[in-house]
Amino acid sequence: MKILIVGPGCPRCAATERNVLDACYALKLPAEVEHVYDPKEFARLGVRFTPAVVVDGKVLVAGRVPSVEELKKLLAQWGEQSG
């Protein structure tokens, strides 16, 4: 699983990254987490509102800071779907 945190480096993006890492840790998820800072990349990823969380190319959350609980649910769901 490849998780991208998309945001230009604002405080909300940092909080999102922290929550994603916490969620991955809690789920013991072997995910590759990366932070995309370049706004030119945002559109290519299909992200229009930041901070956003993109998992395996799909935008799961955009324009707000997801809580750790919500991320755990979303990521677990995604993991089941993709096998």
Partner 1 sequence: MRVTVSGVLLGGVLALREYIAAHVLTCLVPAFLLAGGIVTLVNREGILDHLGVRASKVRSFSLATIASFFLAACSCTVIPVSSGLYYGGAGIGAAFIVLWVAPASNLLALIYTGSILGGTMVLARVVTAVLMAFCVGWVMTLAFRQEESRAMSAVLASNGPTSRILAPVDLGLLGLVAVSLLAPNYLVRSGPYSSKVLVWAIATAAVAGYAGFTKTREEIRRWLEETWWFVRMIFPLLLLGVFLVGMVGTLLPQAWIQQYLGGSGLTATFLATLLGAVSYFATMTEAPFVHTLMKLGMGKGPALALLLTGPGLSLPNWLAIGRVFGVKKAIVYVLTIVFLGTLAGWVFGNFL
State how far the alpha carbon of 58 is from the alpha carbons of 11, 22, 32, 54, in Å.
Answer: 23, 20, 15, 5
Residue 48 sits at φ, ψ, to 5 deg, of -115, -25
13 flagged as catalytic: yes
24 flagged as catalytic: no
Closer residue to partner 1 (CB): 29 or 73: 73
* Residues of the shown chain interacting with partner 1 in the complex, contacts defined by CB under 8 A: 7-8, 10-12, 39-40, 42-44, 46-50, 62-65, 67
Closer residue to partner 1 (CB): 11 or 56: 11
Q: Which H or E run includes 48? A: none
Considering 5, 13, 20, 55, which one is annotated as catalytic?
Answer: 13
Q: Which residues are catalytic?
A: 10, 13
